[in-house]
Amino acid sequence: MEYWPSDTPSPLARTSCLEYLSILKSSLTGSQSASASAEDGFTVVSDRKSNSASSNVREDPPVQRSRARKLLTDDQHNEDNKEVINEENVDEITLPTPSVPVQDLVELSDQEEQDPAEDKVRHSFNSIAHAQNLSTRPTCWVGRLLSPTNDPTQHVLALTGSPNTNMLVNIPNKKRSYIGKLKFSNFDAAPNGKRVFLATEENVVAALNLKSGDILWRHVLEKGSEGVIRFLSVDTDVVTVSGDKDTLLVRGWDPSGGILQWEWPLPKTDHRVEDTHWYMSGSKLYQVIPVALSHVEVTVYNVGTGGKISAHSVPAKWIADTSKCILTTSYLACVSTTLDGKTLFGVLDVMDSEEEAQFWSKPLSEFIGKTPLGPTLSVEPVPGPVPAVIMREAAGNNARYLVYLSPKGPQLFPKVLSEYTSVVTVVLEGQHVLLQASHSTDVVEITAHVLETGETISDLVGSTHASPLGPSSKLVWVREEALSSIVAVEMLELPVSDTDAAIEQEFDHKESEYCSDTSVVWGRGLKKKIGIELMTNNVFLWKEDASILSCDNQSVGAAQWGTFAGILGMFVHRISSQIIQLRSSLMALLGDRMSEGQSSGLVRDEFGLHKIIVAATASGKLFGIDNLSGEILWQRRLEDATPFLDQATDRKHMVLYVQRTTRHFPHPAQCLLLFQDKNTGKGSLFIFNPFTGQPTSEGLVKLGFRIKQSSLLHQPNKESLRGVLLLDDSNNIHVFPESTREVAHNIAASTFLFTGETNGTLTGYALTLSPSEHLLVTEVWKLHIDQPTIEVVGKNPMERVHSQGRVLGDRSVLYKYVNPNLVAVVTQAPDPVHKYAVINDDDDDDDDDDDDDDDDDDDDDDDDDDDDDYYYYYFTLYAAANGQRDLLSIFLVDVVSGAVVFSVVHKRAKGPVHLVHSENWLVYSLFNDKFRRTEVVALELYEGKTQSNTTAFSSVLSPIQPIVDRQAFILPATVEAMKETITEKGITSKHILVALSTGGVVELPWVFLDPRRPFTLTPEMREEGVIPYMPELPIPSESIINYNQTLMRIQGIHTSPSGLESTSLVLVYGLDIFYTRVAPSKTFDVLKEDFDYFLITVVLTALLLASYVTKKLSSKKALKQAWK
Peptide bond into 407 cis (omega under 30): no
Structural contact between residues 130 and 186, judged by C-beta atoms closer than 8 angstroms? yes
Structural contact between residues 887 and 926, judged by C-beta atoms closer than 8 angstroms? no
Q: Which long-range contacts (CB under 8 A, 24 or more apart) does 269-274 make?
A: 272/245, 273/230, 273/243, 273/244, 273/245, 273/248
Count CA atoms within 13 Å of residue 97 on its CB side.
2
Pairwise pLDDT comparison (661 vs 98), residue with the higher score: 661
Q: Which among 566, 503, 564, 511 is positioned nearest to 540, based on CA atoms?
A: 511
For 96-203, strand residue ranges (E) read: 156-161, 175-177, 182-187, 195-200
301 contact partners, CB below 8 Å, separation of at least 6: 250, 266, 284, 285, 287, 307, 308, 309
Structural contact between residues 555 and 549, judged by C-beta atoms closer than 8 angstroms? no
Residue 439 parent element (H or E): strand 431-440
Q: Which among 403, 399, 421 is positioned nearest to 412, based on CA atoms?
A: 403
Least confident interval from 486-495, 944-953, 1045-1054: 944-953
Q: Which among 664, 599, 649 is positioned nearest to 627, based on CA atoms?
A: 599
Q: Measured between alpha carbons, how far is residue 88 from residues 82, 92, 108, 1123 in Å? A: 18, 9, 11, 91
pLDDT in tens, 1008-1020: 999 999 998 888 8
Query: Per-residue pLDDT for 328 more than 50?
Result: yes
Phi and psi dihedrals of 734, rounded to 5? -130, 150
The angle subtended at Cα 1075 by Cα 1071 and Cα 1079, nearest 5°, is: 140
DSSP-derived secondary structure letter, 882: H
Query: Per-residue pLDDT for 371 more than 70?
Result: no
pLDDT in tens, 515-566: 433 333 333 333 333 333 333 333 333 333 333 333 444 444 444 445 555 6
Percent of the chain with pLDDT over 70: 67
Question: Residue 592: its pLDDT value, please?
Answer: 47
Q: Measured between alpha carbons, how far is residue 449 from residues 12, 22, 117, 142, 404 in Å? A: 21, 17, 19, 22, 12
For 254-329, strand residue ranges (E) read: 260-266, 277-281, 284-290, 294-302, 308-316, 324-328
Q: Measured between alpha carbons, how far is residue 316 from residues 136, 313, 320, 388, 390 in Å? A: 29, 9, 9, 20, 22
Question: Residue 618: its pLDDT value, please?
Answer: 94
pLDDT in tens, 895-908: 999 999 999 999 99
Burial of residue 966, with CB atoms counted within 10 A of its CB: 0-12 exposed, 13-18 middle, 19 or more buried? middle
Q: What is the mean pLDDT of residues 217-244?
A: 94
Instruction: Give the span between the Cα atoms of 746 and 283, in whole angstroms.
Output: 75
Least confident interval from 461-470, 558-567, 887-896, 997-1006: 461-470
Collapsing DSSP states into helix, strand and coil, what is residue 763? strand
What is the Cα gyration radius of the chain? 36
402 contact partners, CB below 8 Å, separation of at least 6: 382, 388, 389, 390, 412, 413, 415, 417, 423, 434
Percent of the chain with pLDDT over 90: 39
Q: Is the dihedral of CA 33, 37, 41, 45 positive or negative?
A: positive
Structural contact between residues 1082 and 1062, judged by C-beta atoms closer than 8 angstroms? yes
Whole-number mean pLDDT of the chain? 74
Single pTM value for the model: 0.75
Instruction: Give the span between the Cα atoms of 993 and 1041, in whole angstroms.
Output: 9
Instruction: Give the span between the Cα atoms of 539 and 554, in whole angstroms.
Output: 9
Instruction: Give the span between the Cα atoms of 525 and 778, in whole angstroms.
Output: 44
Q: Which among 224, 259, 226 is positioned nearest to 242, based on CA atoms?
A: 226
Which residues face 41 on adjacent strands? none
Helix 556-590 vs helix 498-506: angle between axes, to the nearest 10 degrees? 160
For 983-1063, strand residue ranges (E) read: 991-996, 1001-1005, 1050-1057
